[in-house]
Amino acid sequence: MIPLRDTIPSARVPIVNYAVIAANVLVFCYEVSLGGRQAELLIKHWGLVPSNFAVETLLTSMFLHGGWLHVLGNMLYLYIFGDNVEDRLGHLRYLLFYLLCGAAAGATQALSSPGSNVPMVGASGAIAGVSGAYFLFFPTARVVTLVPIFLFLQVVEIPAVFFLLIWFLWQLMSGVATLGSRAAVGGVAFWAHIGGFVAGMALGPALRERRSAPRWA
């Protein structure tokens, strides 16, 4: 299933979400410009390596990506779900929320495989946090999704709660299956996704913008 858009319009321009998307794309373009060996060194230095943990990589790793499909897939999810969450939290709180979810995701993955020497990179843990908050904030939303049905692709509307719940349960089952592994199986950091989603569900309500009720003369 490939999400295309959601059905909830944003009440204000999601400037932080756009800025985060731009930052991720620009950093990846910089990675590409370095070439193979230098890009590998960049990822090894600034990616999160559980066996050689450095606090700063909780932040830096979420702006690095391993390929075009990796970065574009992540940015698609962030574009779809991030604007509405920013709308509920406010610009600065959304930025803080995004970074905290990314850090929680990285820490969860590191704790799940402390002996791994494979660098973890990508924004998917932070975006999982955005998805967790969206799950709580917009229970009636629907996601316009491209779904393969037999030999054809169909565009259908799926309840966002169902879409995200299925996604989370898949991450959870896959994550449990990887326990004891020294690295993310298949290159997917399932526990980062799990930790990010749970962090988003916890932090979203805590950071939600309290808008004053209108006063009547």
**pLDDT per residue over 192-213, tens digit each?**
999 999 999 999 999 997 764 4
Q: Is residue 217 part of a domain?
A: no
Element (H or E) spanning 95, and its range?
helix 91-112
Q: What is the pLDDT of residues 83-95, one digit of tens each?
A: 999 999 999 999 9
Which pTM does this prediction carry?
0.91
Q: What is the pLDDT of residues 138-182, one digit of tens each?
A: 999 999 999 988 888 899 999 999 999 999 999 999 999 887 665
pLDDT at 52 over 80: yes
Q: State the average pLDDT for the chain.
A: 92
CATH of the domain at 199: 1.20.1540.10
Q: What is the pLDDT of residue 186?
A: 54
Q: Is residue 135 part of a domain?
A: yes
**Domain total in the chain:** 1
Q: Which region, left, alpha or beta, applies to residue 118 given φ > 0 means left and ψ of -120 to 50 means alpha?
A: beta
Can you give the residue range of the structural domain that contains 77? 2-206
Rounded to the nearest 10 degrees, what angle do helices 68-89 and 91-112 cross at?
130
Q: Is residue 216 part of a domain?
A: no
Q: Is residue 131 part of a domain?
A: yes
Q: What is the pLDDT of residue 160?
A: 96
Q: What is the pLDDT of residues 25-44, one digit of tens each?
A: 999 999 999 988 999 999 99
Rg (CA), the chain: 18
Please report the beta strands in the chain, taking only residues with DSSP state E, as ranges in sequence order: 2-6, 142-149, 152-159
